[in-house]
A and B are shown apart, each in its own frame.
Chain A
Amino acid sequence: MSVLARVPSVAAPTALSVGPLIGYAGGPSFTLADGPLFGLPLAEIWFGLLFFLLGTFLFLDGFDFGVGALFATREDSAEREQFLTAIGPFWDGNEVWLVVFGGTLFATFPPVYATLFSRHYLLMFAILGALILRGMAPELYEQRHDEAWRRWWGRSFVVGSLTAPFFLGVFVAHWLFGVTALVSLQGLVVGLAVVTLTIVDGAAFLRIKTRGALRDDLRTDALLALGAYLVLLVLTLGLLYASPAIRPALVSAPSIALVLLSLTFATVYALATRADRYYMAVGAAAGLVFALVAVVAVLLYPELDPVTGLTVEEAVVSTIPLNLMTIGMAILLPLIFGYFAVLYSSFSGPAEEGEGY
């Protein structure tokens, strides 16, 4: 292309020298183009980090999805109001983890982002539709106090909160199993597993945020959801075992360890819920979420996309942007956890009525 000739490719300013910054001439100097920072295996680190981001999203926004699902079980408008107050300050921030996951996948493994999202075209739009319903509902529910308005936005909240994790589960299942069809058994089972997992997560969160009889009622919901999740987890493991391409990775040590870890977290969750150890139950829910996501990561490594066979090393961006992203992430991730610590500690304990605006 003739255009290329017009573009000067000046590579000089990518050289970084630490010395001058600290007032010391010589000093170690390197350029971003030389290779991965400190010789780190950056492709592998980013592969792990991506699933960590996905897990963080599922754990935190799982609160909101779970609350949305449990919202359907409550007829009393005061109780529904309490549910919304519980997630009110948090859900905006929680949802951003999905944006970060999507952006990071784009920034670090662009061919995977592009092929995965375009291959599961209609599924991605189903996720988006569910997220639109879920995201608009709590904000709009509060805008009018009459019955019809609240009934419709309440429904929108419930439907969005159930379908968003379901379609996300289907997406991950289709990614993992390499399914290209719109509907599959694997998608159904994993989708339902993710839905029940978010209810397990959300119920534990709500037990911190509520009081009295409502809090006691939620104990039953939490345990029922856990039971359903374990059944669906076993079915998922069965489907994975039945897939010849996945079986070897499934019976490997890391996968088995993660499955055993899941069972341990499930036991802790059940005991903590029965004993009203609220924070421990949320911790166990986090363990369940991250163990499930970690299993997916283990099964996907090193072929990030089973359909195209694109490996982590092949799909990763070039050295300079990868180094830049690594520096950015190393600075920003601790900062972001700081924000969340401030947010969650500012609203610790049961939610008070009438907060907002």
Chain B
Amino acid sequence: MIDPVLASRVQFALTTIVHIVFPVLTMGLAPFLIYFTWKDIRTGEAIYEQLRRFWTRIFAVSFAIGTVTGIVLEFEFGTNFAAFSTTAGDLFGGPLALEGLLAFMLEATFLGIFVFGRERVGNALYMLSALAVGIGTWLSAVWILIANSWMQTPRGYELAREGGQPVVTLVDPIAAYANPRFPWMFVHMQNAAVESVALFMAGVGAYYVFRHHVWGYSIENVRFWEATLKFGLLALVVTAPLQVLHGDLYARHVFETQPQKFAAMEAVWETDSYVPEYIVAFPTDVGDLLDPKAKDIFGIGIPGGASWLASGGDPQAVIQGLEEFSGPQPPVAIVFWSFRIMVALGFWFVLLGVWGGFRWWRGDLLTDDLLHKALMLSAPLGIIAVELGWIVTEVGRQPWVIQGVMRTRDGVSPGLTGGEAALTLAGFAVVYTGIFVVHTYVLYRIIRAGPPAVGSDESSGAERADSGGGPTGAGEGGG
């Protein structure tokens, strides 16, 4: 028989992994859209109107899909994790409700004005709606991360039992919600979202700039793609080093508050000092490849690196090994590798930023073909790094759903059968694959169609002087 616990966990993992893509895009695009809108209103330059309209299309599609996939997550707490919902309702429901009331409402109502209202409303209200959408998008993350950080480092509650069911009671809202984990999660997440979108923009821009300036193809709206590349790169230069910096501080906080997770991130089994930070680590025996506790390891590591990371500068620091924690361990291999690849990607993004910034400064940003190729290949990597980061966060605290309070397997709905859970899981596997494919396809179409034509656009007019001087409007199919 299929285990309802396993099926529920896989389903939640699947729905979260797909859902997170869309909020990352909307949260990351928000500051860009606010800036483009402001410049569009202030300067009236065609390029800013193009940037605003083009990226708004991507925002709107991602928001719509983010909404429907997000409702699923909200409902899954009730359908699949009813025991968790009953136990944690006192602390967990509030932030979830406030996310809807305070953040999502703001975002969704003003998105209507932002997407459809340029001709209908005045500049002030239009600018306000751009700000409201952006603030709403970020506030959503505030509430979700308040709820999540409480699950990571629970505080401010009392635990009692009512007929075998543990029930958490909120006694100190400030301790619970002004959770020490929250600022780390929020800064790391928001910066990651902007960084991911920066990489995406730089990659998309690089593709067209590459075709035009390196391959010599005639490309419409070259000025638009150059601007896209530059805005993406600029944001990358700012966000990539920050991400590494506070990522390091965040890891230190994890070491202090969730030592078991930290040990899993580093795959430290026995308590030791001067623990190396392995860049790669493979078992020397092929048969041990899937055994996270394999002893004969070939690894390349920085001596004392993990200790240095955990303590904030002391290579001699002691790290508690996983063996010291009683009970089940998190799936160490998944956590270890997700963490490793995420960190490697983080450094790669810093390198890309430095490289691109240097080329820009030197004046050959538009012609460095190797840089363009690197940016194109890196376009989706920001989102992949976010996914890996969440895997470290969520898988790393297993077997707990609320760290130290409730096991994940105890949080599953008591009446749920394996058949039901497997049926919906299979449904989601199909539907979410479809959603992901359709979204990717739609993004591809939007990007291929390019920015919308605007009145008296000199950049496309110069490119296509023979087309009659009017707006080029590819794909509009005039009637």
Interface residue ranges, A against B (CB under 8 Å):
1, 3-4, 6-14, 32-33, 88-90, 92-93, 95-96, 98-100, 102-104, 106-108, 110-111, 113-119, 121-122, 124-125, 127-129, 131-132, 135-136, 138-140, 143-145, 317-318, 320-321, 324-325, 328-329, 332-333, 336, 339-340, 342-343, 346-347, 352, 355-357
Contacts and interface: CB of A to CB of B under 8 A. Distances in A.
B71 A114 contact: no
A113 B110 CA distance: 29
A46 B279 CA distance: 54
A108 B159 CA distance: 18
B175 A13 contact: yes
Contact of B120 (A129, A320, A346): A346
Contact of B404 (A6, A114, A116, A346): A6
Contact of B427 (A118, A129, A143, A325): A129
A98 B74 CA distance: 10
B172 A100 contact: no
Which of A88, A118, A121, A140 has the largest number of chain B CB atoms within 10 A? Answer: A118
Contact of A128 (B71, B106, B109, B155): B71
A102 B75 contact: yes
B108 A124 contact: no
A333 B171 CA distance: 25
A324 B176 CA distance: 13
21 contacts: A1-B405, A9-B171, A88-B112, A93-B109, A102-B78, A103-B101, A106-B74, A106-B85, A107-B98, A113-B78, A113-B85, A114-B82, A114-B413, A115-B82, A125-B424, A328-B94, A332-B105, A342-B109, A346-B121, A357-B56, A357-B57
B270 interface: no
B64 A139 contact: yes
Contacts of B431: 129, 132
A9 B131 CA distance: 39
Contacts of A114: 77-78, 82-83, 85-86, 89, 413
Interface string B64-76: 1101111110110
A90 B90 contact: no
Given A332-B101, A357-B452, A99 B70 contact: yes
Nearest to A4: B159
A96 B94 contact: no
Q: How large is the interface on B (under 10, 10 to 19, 20 to 34, 35 or more residues)?
A: 35 or more
Contacts of A357: 53, 56-57, 60, 115, 452
A4 B159 CA distance: 7
A356 B111 CA distance: 11
B270 to A, nearest CB: 23
B470 interface: no
A136 B64 CA distance: 6
Nearest to A90: B112
A92 B170 CA distance: 33
Contacts of A93: 105, 108-109, 111-112
A343 B175 contact: no
Interface of B: 53, 56-57, 60-61, 63-65, 67-72, 74-75, 77-80, 82-83, 85-86, 88-94, 96-102, 104-106, 108-113, 115-117, 119-121, 125, 132, 154-159, 169-175, 404-405, 413-416, 420, 423-424, 427, 431, 435, 438, 442, 445-446, 452, 477
A92 B64 contact: yes
Nearest to A122: B420
Main secondary structure of the interface of B (DSSP, over half): helix
Contacts of A10: 156, 171-172, 175
Contacts of A7: 154-155, 157, 159
Contact of A102 (B68, B74, B174): B74
Contacts of A325: 94, 97
Which of B77, B119, B174 has the largest number of chain A CB atoms within 10 A? Answer: B77
Contact of B98 (A1, A119, A328): A328
Contacts of A90: 112
Nearest to B62: A139
B57 A99 contact: no
A209 B112 CA distance: 16
Contact of B89 (A106, A124, A339): A106
Nearest to B112: A89
A320 B170 contact: yes
B60 A106 contact: no
Contacts of B100: 96, 99-100, 102-104
Contacts of B65: 135-136, 139
B19 to A, nearest CB: 12
Which of B67, B113, B125, B132 has the largest number of chain A CB atoms within 10 A? Answer: B67
B474 to A, nearest CB: 13
Contacts of B61: 139-140, 143
Contact of A339 (B105, B159, B445): B105
A44 B75 CA distance: 24
Contacts of B120: 346-347, 355
A107 B69 CA distance: 20
A10 B175 CA distance: 8
A355 B414 CA distance: 49
Given A95-B67, A318-B90, A352-B119, 11 more contacts: A92-B64, A92-B111, A100-B97, A108-B97, A110-B86, A111-B89, A320-B173, A324-B173, A343-B109, A346-B113, A347-B116
A6 to B, nearest CB: 7
A357 B63 CA distance: 14
A343 B72 contact: no
B41 to A, nearest CB: 16
Contacts of A143: 61, 442, 445-446
A118 B438 contact: no
A143 B172 CA distance: 49
Contact of A99 (B74, B86, B154, B404): B74
Contacts of B110: 339, 343
A106 B96 contact: yes
